[in-house]
Chain A
Amino acid sequence: MDMNTKELKKNAFRVTKVRGVTSSRVRVPGGLLKAEYLGKIQKIAETYGNGTVNLTARQGFEIPGIPFEKIPEVNQALQEIIDGTGVNQTGKERGEGYPASGTRNVSACVGNRVCPYACYDTTALAQKIEKVIFPNDLHVKVVLTGCPNDCQKVRMGDIGIMGMTEPQFDPDRCVSCGACIKACRSKSVDALTSVRFRPERDSYKCIGCGECINACPDLAWTRSQKKYFRVTLLGRTGKKNPRMGVDFIKWADEDSIIQIIKNTYEYTRHYINPDSPGGKEHIGYIVDRTGTEEFLRWALKDVHLPDIAEVYTPLNWNGVEYAHNKYFGNQRYHENGTIVTDFSK
């Protein structure tokens, strides 16, 4: 059997354990789709696959058990779903399936269409970003979450976007009940104190979660008209050095984020190691090579941040270094130089 596996993967099919059998990976930008497409996914799974569907970690579907020879038919059947989920198909004819798989599904928490804590419409922004970055072969993970609860775990992605609102205070509506102060203390970062019967916000501490706004019985606190975001950078999982994304910008706006994402692609295209296995290299490892300064030079090009924005510096990642964990009996060196003893051994 002859199969160009590079083309296969780029077309969003997988090389699996079983020879001649693949699975189809369905993108769902923002993790929201019309229920009717579930029926279509079911049909593909039952007609061409083994009748099961996998819910992927990044909010897509994977339909396993598809024989290679059924790929053209599956691609035909996928067309309606591709149209319905608003996925950009540039580079392929209709009926030829997905044009790329490198850039991962842009995932998002349920956001402000449902969640009372969410500070923006995560689905809409995810779909907007999808349009900007897909199709693309670069292995990039963009993750969106509605608020600092971070249900979507944005710090595991290359670019994490966390919703924020800048609380607006109308002193004439404050009845000094203290609910906002209590909420910020017990559920968030304790940025409010009572000064002369009214809350005073430490804007340096404040993470823009909006708990004070939700707690206020009298709308003394309300949301800023403008929507803001915390951007986190270069979280990753994997076999070398998994690590959490770190804070990059606090109080960024939507336009800046889109520009930063475009810039990050430019940078990656420029610096990626052409010999990397499968042409895949996590941006984080490229940044490890070029140095953070060089990355930031690219990332912030033509970005006009709002006045309120704070850019974190320096950016320090650490995380787990599997390769550096040397065991000596029940002792090993931790990457920070200390010796860790495992008493269970």
Chain B
Amino acid sequence: MGYIADTSQFEKLFSYWKEEYEIWAPRRFQGGGRFSDTDAVRYARVDSPSEIEFEEKSAYSWKETVFPPSETLFYFSQNHVEEAEAPAKKRLVFLRSCDLAAVRRMDQIYLKNGDPDYYYARKRDGLAFVLIGCPHTCENGFCVSMGTNASDNYDMSVDVTDGAYYIDCPQEDWSRKLEELGAAPAEHKPSRVTENKVSVRIPDNLTYEVGKSTMWNQYDKRCINCGRCNFVCPTCTCFTMQDMYYDADGKVGERRRVQASCMVDGYTDVAGGASYRKKNGQRMRFKTLHKVLDFRERFGYQMCVGCGRCDDICPEYISFSHIINHLEEGMKEAQADDNSK
């Protein structure tokens, strides 16, 4: 069902949600950006619709709702383990089409890749999704190429124009609530982009052979292995474990899981002090092929959703879509090399 709600109706819907949900959405932190007098837009709990950033795409993705940068799993003492408290409420998350597509990828890894992950599942259970429409493309996104521009598995969608909330609401309880609040019925489908400024083509013949191409070498020097591109990515799921001891003799403490990055030093360190991918170009190759080849081979669809956040944030202006678009040439080079042997 479609509706047009005014601010006060939307606020009331919000209060109604809050009885059952904790609401997470992109939020603007004034002065919270990296550089002086800049803002940050990232996911956080919100208490009213006015706290939601509807305009600008968040620099960090929706995944922090269920997979925060750092999370305590349990506390331990000598013979005792106590689980960290589960979230008191279910969560409702406002997100854009690419991020909604990314939910499926997160679920794939955390719920359907062997045993479900307990700590993920307890946040994921009961998660509700409100889609924020995209009336125009963001700067670096390529959702159209990745087919993630029109996600429709939402509970509700909303487009905000001049203080009016244009809603599509398949969720029946919420529909009833909107009617009760007096929202005007009106057919509405969420706005979605049909064209981005950036488009990519993943070659059909892509294989791991592209790893032999020289295309990766430039990143040895250009990339500073900071990991920003991973931390902002809605489909990066890697983490590492930390046992943090409060005391010197290592008996009392907590276990945390923290997001990890395949670009940062230490990721491929193994016992004995070896490290698989020392060069940043090799790391870039690994990341790229995981995003657009390896995952697809295992699960039948692409991992990267084309949100463009990795491009937005890279301090060295390394563009992931640019890399994808060089794979074709990279393949040619690698195969030509083979033929000449």
Contact = CB atoms under 8 A, between A and B. Distances in A.
Interface residues of B, number: 27
A175 B244 contact: no
A204 to B, nearest CB: 23
A177 B70 CA distance: 12
Interface string B39-62: 010100000000000000000100
B18 interface: no
B176 to A, nearest CB: 37
B221 to A, nearest CB: 18
Nearest to B245: A196
Contacts of A188: none
Best-buried of B245, B256, B259 by chain A (most CB within 10 Å): B259
A165 B69 contact: no
B37 A176 contact: no
**Band of interface residues on A:** 20 to 34
A119 B37 CA distance: 8
Contacts of B242: 176, 197
A165 B35 CA distance: 11
Contacts of B205: none
Interface string A76-105: 000000000000000000000000000000
B32 A118 contact: no
A218 B40 contact: no
A112 interface: yes
Contact of B70 (A119, A163, A172, A213): A172
Contact of B227 (A172, A217, A219): A217
B231 interface: yes
B160 interface: no
B36 A112 contact: yes
Given A112-B37, A121-B37, A218-B231, A197 B244 contact: yes
A19 B245 CA distance: 80
A173 B68 CA distance: 8
Given A173-B69, A177-B261, A196-B245, A112 B35 contact: yes
B260 interface: yes
B80 interface: no
Best-buried of A118, A174, A219 by chain B (most CB within 10 Å): A219
A146 B33 CA distance: 17
Contact of A219 (B32, B244, B259, B261): B32
Interface string A209-227: 0100111111110110101
Contact of B69 (A214, A215, A218): A218
A116 interface: yes
B215 interface: no
Contacts of B70: 171-176
B264 interface: yes
B31 interface: yes
Given A197-B242, A219-B40, A223-B36, A174 B69 contact: yes
B226 interface: yes
A95 to B, nearest CB: 38
B111 to A, nearest CB: 23
B37 A219 contact: no
B128 interface: no
A176 B231 contact: no
Nearest to A170: B69
Contacts of B227: 175, 177, 179, 217
A219 B36 contact: no
Given A112-B35, A213-B34, A214-B35, A175 B259 contact: yes
B192 interface: no
A175 B238 CA distance: 12
Contacts of B292: none
Contact of B36 (A165, A196, A218): A165
Interface in B227-264: 227-228, 231, 242, 244-245, 256, 258-261, 264
Interface in B265-306: none
A120 interface: yes
Contacts of A227: 36
Nearest to A217: B228
Contact of A175 (B32, B34, B231): B231
A105 B188 CA distance: 60
Interface in B7-41: 29, 31-37, 40
Interface string A168-189: 0001111111010000000000
A219 B34 contact: yes
A261 to B, nearest CB: 22
Contact of B244 (A119, A196, A215): A196
B34 A176 contact: no
A216 B35 CA distance: 11
A317 B188 CA distance: 73
Interface in A258-277: none
A146 B42 CA distance: 27
Interface string A297-334: 00000000000000000000000000000000000000
Contact of A172 (B69, B226, B228, B244): B69
Interface in A104-162: 112, 116, 118-121, 146
Contacts of A225: 31
Interface of A: 112, 116, 118-121, 146, 163, 165, 171-177, 179, 196-197, 210, 213-220, 222-223, 225, 227
